[in-house]
Amino acid sequence: MPEPILQIRNLKTYFYTYAGVVRALEGIDLDIYQGETLGLVGETGCGKSVTSLSIMRLVADPPGRIVDGQIIYKGEDLLKKSEAQMQQIRGNKITMVFQDPMTFLNPVITIGDQVSEVIAIHENLARDVVRSKIDECEETIKQLDSNSPDRERLMNRVKELEALKDNPPKYSRREMKKATLRRTIEVLKLVQMPSPEKVVKQYPHELSGGMRQRAIIAMALSCSPDLLIADEPTTSLDVTIQAQILALLSELKKKIGSSILIITHDMGIVAEICDRVSVMYAGNIIETAETKALFKNPLHPYTQGLLKAIPKLHRDVEELEIIPGSVPNLIYPPSGCRFHPRCPFRMDICDKENPPFIERERGHSVACYLYQEKK
Amino acid sequence: MTQMGQVKTSVERKSKSWFDEHAPQIRELKFTLYLLRQSPIVVAGFILVALFIGMAIFAPWIAPHGPEERFWNLPQQPPSWRFPFGTDTTGGDIYSRIIWGSRLDLTIALTVVASAILIGSVLGAISGFMGRAFDEALMRVTDVFLAFPALILAMAVAAALGRNLTNLTIALMVVWWPTYARLVRGQVLAEKERLYVDAARAVGASPARIIFRHVLPNSIFPVIVQATLDLGGVILTAAGLSFIGFGAGAGVAEWGLMIADGRSYLFQSPWIACFPGLAILLSSLGLNLIGDGLRDVLDPRLRR
């Protein structure tokens, strides 16, 4: 097993509202490994998005606060970092793709400028400037006659520039801008944006939903992050575009080598691209397993219910299966296991203590008393 | 030969002009101008304002006489071919003095509004974005300013600083910035909840960058409208202050002062006060017409 790139331990995020304390995350544990796609599923309001915002340290304070836990990235606890240090990490090492591409782009800034902003914040482009100058000279040398007097001069210039490569000087704004633009177009090509040279000069309202989502993915990937958090990246897109974006994400993951945490409520997406899945319920992670294992052998009663609730095309049924009851109020969550009021296998112990999250099989952990004694 | 051609194209590609780099912004501007042209009221306003701006810029060439030139032997002459708007009590050519006066009055208006926008929007944006104590403090300060009648406050400041045009300008700045601070703060409060702000945070943008690069440009449209309307307002107020004696020193070609000079002779020689009054009326009318038109065009709800 490769090293986990991000380890979340006992993370608790609460929201302090007038009505009371909303315990949005009640001590979750999550590992994300190098190069994997981890799905985080659960119904609306179970804390999926709060998890992603907590990782980025973007929980609005007030009312929200991360009260306890650790988020360990490369051996360092993100919760102990200063805001300035977090700014270095956001967009560079850990990035995010948001749910709704319509509202996540700034309407008055061109796509090109928005993508280059990310590059300009995090990358030192002076090297790019040197590189492009060398390219330019070599291009001209090729075009010149072999005995042209300019040739000698340009060869010397290339040598000069090669020497500068490792320790580039400060270049003017204009040249840096050009280098940024070149990188921006490269990134837009990477996300398969149609005609990127044209798109960089367009405003968000001139693009379709799929193109906007590509632009957002371009922003997220422009600095080759270690971890990409995709918060329901395809919810607002139609099905064909959804498939394209998902294919793009898995392709880019291989190309760049980053890990992806994909947040969704769509089991279809999970089955399609995730290596492992964590299921959340009311602020807890109740089951984590490899995707195949989870679909074949769901352990937690909630996961079982969730999988049963997926409509099946090959079976003719009058009514879809549902999980009875509704999501608990997180201000006054049920005692013990938060799922016990809806659970068909409820036992005496369930409303008294919260079941521990225990690995039952290799790589398959569950928080349920049903499996406690069998271990 | 073909080599030459290729080298040339690569040079051309390198020296991209400013217009190419800003093509999208120019496209938007063109579209806005197109919409503005559709409204006859805005066109009328533009013509009026262009007239006054032209007067201000080309004053030395179009004014027949200097601003302080006097025909001591020809006071209070009615309009004639030689003096199209007549002469005042000291024999100054009113036509020339109005043209020279447009320089002063438009400069005052521009300086006041520009600095009010600068101070007001920066403070307002920071206040709206940061919230909490700073916001609270700044808004109470603006409350104090806004609770005072603008003219009285300007009078007090101008009187404290002493009588000249620079101090008049400073006094008007002091009076005007709170309007913009409130306007921008309100806009920023609404804008900062928009999701692109979260997105900017998520890519590691610093608060200053978010305020000035993301939020302010989105909040600036009402400011443009307000500024156009205020240019007219400042011209009026500046003239009013000069009229009651808190502006230019005696004899300076400034519209408000010219009206004040003609006030006592309103019945014997009405042209002395009427023509400068007309200049004030038309210039602020023009700016107000543009302002109204801009509001219609820039507010997307009224655009459709």
Are A79 and A6 a contacting pair, CB within 8 Å? no
* pLDDT tens per residue across span A287-312: 888 888 888 888 888 888 888 888 77
| Higher-pLDDT residue of B198, B181 | B181
Are B232 and B45 a contacting pair, CB within 8 Å? no
Residue A160 pLDDT > 80, yes or no?
no
B196 in contact with chain A, both atoms CB, cutoff 8 A: yes
Chain B positions touching A106 (Cβ under 8 A) are 196, 199-200, 214, 218
Residue A81 pLDDT > 50, yes or no?
yes
Question: pTM for this structure?
Answer: 0.76
B58 residue type, one letter: F
| Residue carrying structure tokens 């997105």 | B199
Residue A100 pLDDT > 90, yes or no?
no
- Residues forming a β-bridge with A76: A73
At residue A1 the predicted structure's pLDDT band, cuts being 50, 70 and 90, is low
Residue B162 pLDDT > 80, yes or no?
yes
Nearest to B218 among A107, A202, A220 (CB): A107
At residue A221 the predicted structure's pLDDT band, cuts being 50, 70 and 90, is confident
B204 in contact with chain A, both atoms CB, cutoff 8 A: yes
Residue-averaged pLDDT of chain A: 82
What pLDDT, on the 0 to 100 scale, is given for residue B299?
66
Residue-averaged pLDDT of chain B: 84
What pLDDT, on the 0 to 100 scale, is given for residue B185?
92
Residue A28 pLDDT > 90, yes or no?
no
Determine the average pLDDT of the residues in B115-130. Answer: 91
Determine the average pLDDT of the residues in A340-348. Answer: 81
| Residue carrying structure tokens 């490792």 | A166
- The DSSP secondary-structure symbol of A278 reads E
Chain B positions touching A219 (Cβ under 8 A) are 199, 203
Residue A251 pLDDT > 60, yes or no?
yes
Interface of A with B (CB under 8 A): 56, 58, 84, 86-92, 95-96, 98, 100, 103-110, 117-118, 121-122, 136, 139-140, 143-144, 201-203, 216, 219-220
For residue A112, give how far its alpha carbon lies from the nearest alpha carbon of chain B (Å): 11
Residue B304 pLDDT > 70, yes or no?
no
Chain B positions touching A95 (Cβ under 8 A) are 202-203
What pLDDT, on the 0 to 100 scale, is given for residue A178?
80
Main-chain phi, psi angles of A39, to 5 degrees? -95, 140
* pLDDT tens per residue across span B198-210: 888 888 888 888 8
Residue A144 pLDDT > 80, yes or no?
no
Gap between the Cα atoms of A134 and A154, Å rounded: 9
What pLDDT, on the 0 to 100 scale, is given for residue B301?
60
For residue B3, give how far its alpha carbon lies from the nearest alpha carbon of chain A (Å): 7
Nearest to B218 among A108, A117, A219 (CB): A108
Gap between the Cα atoms of A90 and B210, Å rounded: 14
* pLDDT tens per residue across span B284-302: 999 999 988 888 777 656 5
Q: What residue of B is the nearest CA neighbor of A203?
A: B24
- Residues listed for chain B: 304
Gap between the Cα atoms of A322 and A305, Å rounded: 7
Instruction: Work out whether strand A37-41 and strand A259-264 pair parallel, antiparallel, or are unpaired.
Output: parallel
Chain B positions touching A86 (Cβ under 8 A) are 204
For residue A204, give how far its alpha carbon lies from the nearest alpha carbon of chain B (Å): 11
Nearest residue to A36 via CA among A221, A180, A301, A249: A249
What pLDDT, on the 0 to 100 scale, is given for residue A375?
41
At residue B48 the predicted structure's pLDDT band, cuts being 50, 70 and 90, is very high
Residue A137 pLDDT > 90, yes or no?
no
Is this prediction's ipTM beyond 0.85?
Answer: no
Task: Count CB pairs under 8 A between chains A and B.
Answer: 78
Residue A164 pLDDT > 60, yes or no?
yes
Residue A236 pLDDT > 90, yes or no?
no
Chain A positions touching B206 (Cβ under 8 A) are 84, 87
Report the percent of chain A where pLDDT is more than 70: 97
